Amino acid sequence: MDKREIICIVCPIGCHMELVQDRGVEAGYRVYGAQCKRGRVYGVKEVTRPTRLLTTTVEIQDADLPRLPVRSARELAKDKILEAISLIKKIKVKAPIKMGDVLLENILDTGVDIIASRDLTEAREEKIYG
In the complex, the residues that contact ligand SF4 under the rule CB under 6 A are 8, 10-11, 13-15, 34-36, 38-39
C-alpha dist (Å) from residue 91 to 49, 57, 100: 28, 10, 15
**Residue whose C-alpha is closest to residue 116's, from 57, 66, 28, 47:** 57
Q: Cβ-closest residue to ligand SF4?
A: 39
Residue (10 or 103) nearer to ligand SF4, CB? 10
Least distance from ligand SF4 to the Cβ atom of residue 52, Å: 17
Residue (43 or 70) nearer to ligand SF4, CB? 43
